[in-house]
Structure 1
Amino acid sequence: MFETLQAQPADKILMLMQMFREDPREQKIDLGVGVYKNADGQTPIMRAVKAAEKKVWETQDTKSYTGLAGDPAFADAMIDLILAGAVARDTIAAVATPGGTGACRQAFEAIKMARPGARVFVSDPTWPNHLSILKYLGMEVVPYRYFDGETRGVDIAGMLEDIGKAGPGDVVLLHGCCHNPTGANPNSADWDAIIASLQNSGATAMVDIAYQGFGDGLEEDAAATRKLAAALPELLIAASCSKNFGVYRERTGLLMLIAQDTGAKALNQGTLAFLNRQNYSFPPDHGARIVTAVLTDAELRADWQAELEDVRLSMLGLREELANELRRLSGSDRFGFLAQHRGMFSRLGTTPELVEKLRVDHGIYMVGDSRMNIAGLNKQTVPILAQAIIDCGI
């Protein structure tokens, strides 16, 4: 029967990783894959995570299944981290998932179950896996304007016009902070306008928050999500621990479904647990235990927040250095947007042909749409990248 299978489109980022590994040049720079790297090019285990893992190893006395929703303590800790009391706990249904990707997948499944004909409004551009999963599930995608190619900021007027076309039964997918792939984010006034649009249209919002703590700080990065949760009758939140806890391979995520009608919580919780059962039954637990240990131990949490802040400031510093070097080399401030963007990524806003030229001529690897991982840089490679950008005529 399997002779009927057809080859699937190759993942562009995975292809880029393979090409980078096979490139024999010593002076090559990987700005493709979305993984944090320190100045030595390593993705370290955070101190608090290492300590929490040891604590779990010493105290855990069983490897039996958790419940279908995962460990309740993990959900409570993550809900507190992201929402901090913005809504009452008894309005929130939550399940642990295999990473943020699993949370997004389960959210889309819940949407499809509730409204089979739902349209999902998605920023143009967005994280490619959003589109891939939605296509696989056969769900209708409606792009909305987001990235302004001239200013390299958010096209808020275009965004509001487009999401205003959503209606009851539709979903508007939003990035909670540190937009992937552009690094451009709405400001506080923009978020107020987005909320007003959603209230007016009756559309349901879904937030993908994968980089809390990488942008302007833990509290600041959650501000928009908290506003949405407090202002809207319903909200889906897909959260990832991969980046801010550095537990990429542990696949640690959480899906929340908020309904201001507290009577809906039991039904929502049962639905999310049912979807977990159909997909993978019991969610992974090791990463969730580590995250819970960090967030519920005052000393570990303080150390984690301090290291996370160092990571955030490091990325901001690299942004400033790159923008300054490009200003020096170009004699203009046309790359100033790099210092204004937040998170791991920025989009240069150039052509796939010039991105390919960067790779061929200079050994610099970034996604074809010119998304680059700022965390892939260090003080030595910033001037190399800046010179290559100028040499390629970007």
Structure 2
Amino acid sequence: MFDQLKAQPQDKILQLIAMFRDDPRTTKIDLGVGVYKDATGLTPVMRAVKAAEKKLWETETTKTYTGLAGEPAYNAALSAMILGDAVPTDRLASIATPGGTGAIRQALELIRLATPTATVWISNPTWPNHPSIIKFLGMNMAEYRYFDAATRGVDFVGLMEDLAKVKSGDVVLLHGCCHNPTGANLDGAQWDQVITLLAQRGAIPLVDLAYQGFGDGLTEDAAATRKIAAAFPEVLIAASCSKNFGIYRERTGILIGIGAAAGKGVLQGNLNFLNRQNFSFPPDHGARLVTMILEDAALKADWMAELEEVRLNMLTLRQSLADELRKATNSDRFDFVASHRGMFSRLGLTEAQVNTLREDHAIYMVGDSRINIAGLNARTVPILAAAIAQVAG
């Protein structure tokens, strides 16, 4: 049997991680892997998470299974953080999932279960796991233009032209905030136009919300998702706690389905069914920590304060890099870095230039020139700027 298997293409980011690890140069800089790092290069455990873990260790009495959908308290607390009061709770069904990737997978499984002929529209570019999972599931897929390579902003005209081709019942995957990999985001007025168009087309939005709190603020980053949730009869939202709670390895996510109140039981039953087929009961440790933090006023306040420190640090790094690049290149061609939001920006370098940065300067980034802003610090910002100026001419 195994001799019939074919080698699978390597994940480019995981390949990059291995290359960085094996590079003996002490000056190497990792801007590829998508995790937050502090000024020392550490991905720290947040203070509130530490406190919640200590409390959990002292009070937890069992490690028995949780429910198929996860703990109701977790689903309710995280849904409230994401949606506020945008949608009545009697329209919400939800399941805990192994991270945001698990939520995306379950959302696509649900779509295939309900309407196997539906086309899933994804932005060009998007997070590589989106098309990978869609193709693996054998689903129909189409792309809509998103990134303007000239301005390094959103190609809004192209985006609207492509989304006008969406058919009723198609699913449109939208990044709720902090677009990955570009860092370029729609503004409020543009979101309104997209929502109006997709509602007219009869589309079903699937929102990927992986970075709430990393862009403009915890509430501000949920604004588009809340508008979408309130505007459509059916919506899917896949969210992750990896970044904003810093619990990457705990694999903590949620899939929220919004539909008619009368159909909530069937929707919830199908979500539960999918969890059962794929992994039975979802992991609970990270979900329990998130619940404890969101339900405890002091822990929540401390978590929000530290999350804001993280967000502001990334904004500072963005502005510093834009300033250093302006000085190093004697031009404003990289000023867009300061206006992007979230962990990532796509710099617009060629693959050959990216390779030169890696080979000659020990600076690692994804081949499309996506960089993780949070991989920088005050010492490495000018080093990166000087290297980019040298290879970009």
Return the TM-score normalized by structure 1.
0.99
Asked if 1:295 is matched to 2:294, the reply is yes
Aligned twin of 1:237: 237
**Identical pairs, percent:** 66
Distance, in Å, in 2 between the alignment partners of 1:105 and 1:330 is 43
Which one-letter code corresponds to 2:61 in the other structure? D
Distance, in Å, in 2 between the alignment partners of 1:132 and 1:366 is 20
Distance, in Å, in 2 between the alignment partners of 1:251 and 1:207 is 19
Aligned twin of 1:255: 255
Aligned twin of 2:280: 281
How far apart are 1:211 and its partner, in Å? 0.3
Post-superposition CA distance 1:165-215 (Å, at most 9, x none): 111221000000000000000000010001001111001000000000000
How far apart are 1:363 and its partner, in Å? 0.5
Give the unaligned 5+ runs of structure 1.
none
How far apart are 1:57 and its partner, in Å? 1.4
Post-superposition CA distance 1:49-88 (Å, at most 9, x none): 0001111111111111111000000000001100001000
Post-superposition CA distance 1:252-281 (Å, at most 9, x none): 00000001x210111100000000000000
Distance, in Å, in 1 between the alignment partners of 2:74 and 2:57 is 17
How far apart are 1:18 and its partner, in Å? 0.4
Aligned twin of 1:101: 101
Distance, in Å, in 1 between the alignment partners of 2:180 and 2:330 is 29
- 1:121-136, aligned counterparts within 5 Å? 121-136=121-136
**C-alpha root-mean-square deviation of aligned residues, in Å?**
0.6
How far apart are 1:331 and its partner, in Å? 1.5
- 1:211-360, aligned counterparts within 5 Å? 211-259=211-259, 261-360=260-359
Distance, in Å, in 1 between the alignment partners of 2:262 and 2:219 is 29
SS at structure 2 position matched to 1:218: coil
Q: Which runs of 4+ in 1 moved over 3 A?
A: none
How far apart are 1:393 and its partner, in Å? 1.6
Distance, in Å, in 1 between the alignment partners of 2:168 and 2:59 is 48
SS at structure 1 position matched to 2:32: coil
How far apart are 1:329 and its partner, in Å? 1.5
Alpha carbons 2:49, 2:293 under 8 Å: kept: yes
Distance, in Å, in 1 between the alignment partners of 2:58 and 2:167 is 52
Distance, in Å, in 2 between the alignment partners of 1:73 and 1:354 is 49
Distance, in Å, in 2 between the alignment partners of 1:152 and 1:102 is 30
How far apart are 1:143 and its partner, in Å? 0.8
Give the unaligned 5+ runs of structure 2.
none
Greater shift after overlay, 349-358 or 212-221? 349-358
SS at structure 2 position matched to 1:334: coil
- 1:376-391, aligned counterparts within 5 Å? 376-391=375-390
SS at structure 1 position matched to 2:205: strand
Aligned twin of 1:393: 392
How far apart are 1:28 and its partner, in Å? 0.7
Distance, in Å, in 2 between the alignment partners of 1:360 and 1:55 is 47
Aligned twin of 2:184: 184
Which one-letter code corresponds to 2:272 in the other structure? A
Distance, in Å, in 2 between the alignment partners of 1:63 and 1:370 is 44
Post-superposition CA distance 1:331-372 (Å, at most 9, x none): 211111000000000000121111111101100000001100
How far apart are 1:26 and its partner, in Å? 0.8
How far apart are 1:159 and its partner, in Å? 0.7
Aligned twin of 1:81: 81
How far apart are 1:2 and its partner, in Å? 1.1
Alpha carbons 2:69, 2:94 under 8 Å: kept: yes
Which one-letter code corresponds to 2:247 in the other structure? V
Which one-letter code corresponds to 2:342 in the other structure? G
How far apart are 1:148 and its partner, in Å? 0.3
- 1:54-65, aligned counterparts within 5 Å? 54-65=54-65
Which one-letter code corresponds to 2:155 in the other structure? D
Alpha carbons 2:349, 2:392 under 8 Å: kept: no
Asked if 1:92 is matched to 2:92, the reply is yes
Which one-letter code corresponds to 1:305 in the other structure? M
Aligned twin of 2:369: 370
SS at structure 2 position matched to 1:205: strand
Aligned twin of 1:22: 22
How far apart are 1:140 and its partner, in Å? 1.4
Distance, in Å, in 2 between the alignment partners of 1:325 and 1:371 is 18
Aligned twin of 1:205: 205
Which one-letter code corresponds to 1:288 in the other structure? A
Greater shift after overlay, 55-64 or 234-243? 55-64
- 1:87-166, aligned counterparts within 5 Å? 87-166=87-166
